[in-house]
Amino acid sequence: MPTRKKQPSRTTKPTAKESDLDRFRETPDGEFLTTDQGVRVSSTDDSLKAGPRGPTLLEDFHLREKIMRFDHERIPERVVHARGAAAHGTFQVYRSLSKYTRAAFLTDPAAKTPVFVRFSTVAGSRGSADTVRDVRGFAVKFYTSEGNFDLVGNNMPVFFIQDGMKFPDLVHAIKPNPRKEIPQASTAHDSFWDFISLTPETAHMVMWVMSDRAIPRSYRMMEGFGVHTFRLIDPAGKARLVKFHWKPLLGTHSLVWEEAQQIAGKDPDYHRRDLFEAIEAGAPAEYELGLQVVDEADVLKFGFDLLDATKLLPEELVPVERVGKLTLDRNPMNFFAETEQVAFCVGNVVPGIDFTNDPLLQARLFSYLDTQITRLGGPNFAELPINRPIAPVHNNQQDGFGRQTINGGVANYSPNSLGDNFPKPASPKEGGYKHYMERIDGQKIRERSDSFGDHFSQARMFLDSMTDVERTHLTEALCFEIGKVERLPVRQRVIDAILAPIDEALAATVAKAVGSSRDKAATKAPAKGQRTKTMAPSPALSIIRPDGGSIATRRIAMLVAEGFAGRSLAAVKAALEKGGASVELISTDLGTVKSADGADAEAVRTFMIAPSVMYDAVFIADGQASADALAGTDDAVRFVGEAFRHCKAVAALGAGRTLLTAARIATDQGKDQDPGLIVETAPGTVATRFMAGIARHRHWARQGKAKPRPPLEP
């Protein structure tokens, strides 16, 4: 194998043959890791803390430099969470939570707190697609009477890493190859899986990202989590640990992988459009705030460390208490001014809410504030309209880029006598923020707490909590992602170092699919952090619910052609809309479609511009002439066949079954009746059964049974 020519480092004296640019090239081959000042670094995995479980220290110059440089890598879009959508709304607590916290917005049931919520993908640029496999951001800015509180979370309750020191490494590995700038918004490449295979703490999060949680049906049907463990401080000063949850009232639902890939090409703005159009139609996005509250002394009670961001607290151990409602009912007036300029900062808290020593959270406290300075052009980003609190602001901050406040007064310092010492500090009784007085006693050290050592127990618990359908999807996602990795050693290391400690059967299945091997005899003795205990499955982690839910805001496609039965279609359409569904008629051409009984209708979409993946369910109108025309239209046949393959509810009234036959969908179900395939002759009966089928979201028993239609003739 030819040896790679070593490029000159920036410390190498340039030769006469080198260009001016060459003298700035460098390669890390054979070199030590250093800071930007040339100081060699002894560790780049753990931040400097006061004891293994203590808070991160501000004097950690390596952490601050590493995070600062990472925060300022891209302008003007966000380094991560660049692609987003947002909405305004309100939050109202159901009952006073004064037993937990003194935060005013959580103790006054009469108060409606304004909020602004931004949803986002993590890995892609602003121009990437909405439906890629990725973590979703779920960031909420509460404009409370005591100041802004930002709950900056995700749609998954855990994260890849335990210490913020590793965040730049993680994101560099996720992002496109720096030489090629591809692939965009995808983790199916060597860099990501190389990092994963060498970082066992990522095992649990990998299970989440490969699950259906990573391809949500919409932002309105997506859970949210605060990820970290925070503190709530009650009026008496007692602290309790808390995990924050957002529970969507429409339920938690996903796309299927093939569907997500098609939507990315056909409508890359799918999630943005869904949120915007639902709110415009008067259907707000609604969530309930849930809390898991535990005593401070129980931080290690459950067999893992609650300060470890790669761990979740199973709802079966501590139930989620639903305490309030978030309602998003107003779209932004200007995307840039609001959605793009909103600045979330993890450090924005109000009295009654405080931080813990989670080392990932501690790094975020620095990172978010630092990031806004570059992204929004200076230190005055809090004065932008979308970021301004409703609480009055009085301080001695002054000048700088983008200053909007016109300061009055005679003194801009504290203490002062010229202005009678105003603005003056407020005592806790006067609403002043008081940090929780946690006792800190530890040596300065770069070390991971032993309580953070188990990386595989919860990953296995998550896998064991999945239904067979979800486990199949997760396995297929791993086969797809790892199959995209070009380097065999990386593929092999993922199998042996990450998947095998989680589940041998999973590792063997993926290994076979990606051309790797799984030799148990060659497996080394378990390393520190490998699975040491078995945790009971947590049914709450599964998003497949057999009892179904609401059809509210579900998009229903009604397929029609000339000669359809107009009155029966109108009756079914009225029933669906009464249930809250959004119904659209689709035909070969836009405009008026003639019916067989004088009840003509308007087709608002055509098969060319509205594929089945854009809809939750499909209805085929009665009328033999219409059914025959649809059965002879390849796009219509493909439309209904694809919807059936994606396990959606499909209904045909009367002669509409002709299209099902053309799509090779058997309508004589016998004893194995599919509740999501409805063939009826009476409009009332078909509407009732169809709505019940839609409420189930998907009919997974059909998975793998749908016969793909042969390719069209050229």
Encode 601-617: b = buried (16+ Cβ within 10 Å), e = exposed: bebebebeebbbbbbbb
CB count within 10 Å of CB 516 equals 23
The secondary element (H helix, E strand) that includes residue 136 is: strand 136-144
Residue type, 437: M
CB count within 10 Å of CB 652 equals 28
Is omega for the bond preceding 423 within 30 degrees of 0, making it cis?
yes
Cβ atoms of residues 158 and 201 within 8 Å? no
Cβ atoms of residues 219 and 271 within 8 Å? yes
Cα 71 from chain centre: 20
* Strand duo 136-144 + 582-587: pairing: unpaired
d(CA 697, CA 679): 18
Helix, strand, or coil (residue 86): strand
Cβ atoms of residues 509 and 521 within 8 Å? no
d(CA 442, CA 250): 47
In terms of C-beta density within 10 A (0-12 exposed, 13-18 middle, 19 or more buried), how is residue 416 classed?
middle
Q: What one-character-per-residue DSSP string does 445-469 give?
A: EE---GGG---SHHHHHHHHHS-HH
Question: What single-letter DSSP state applies at residue 126?
Answer: T
CB count within 10 Å of CB 265 equals 11
* Strand duo 555-559 + 582-587: pairing: parallel
Question: Of residues 148, 154, 331, 348, which has the active-site annotation?
Answer: 154
CB count within 10 Å of CB 260 equals 22
Partnered with residue 285 across adjacent β-strands are 328
First to last CA, the chain: 46
Question: What single-letter DSSP state applies at residue 480?
Answer: H
Cβ atoms of residues 294 and 445 within 8 Å? no
Question: Of residues 62, 81, 245, 699, which has the active-site annotation?
Answer: 81
Contacts within 8 Å (CB) and 24+ apart, 336-342: 337/384, 337/385, 337/386, 338/86, 338/116, 338/385, 338/386, 339/84, 339/85, 339/86, 339/118, 340/84, 341/376, 341/381, 341/384, 341/386, 341/387, 342/86, 342/116, 342/118, 342/141, 342/386, 342/387
d(CA 160, CA 374): 26
Any catalytic annotation for residue 81?
yes
> Could you give the residue numbers annotated as active site?
81, 154
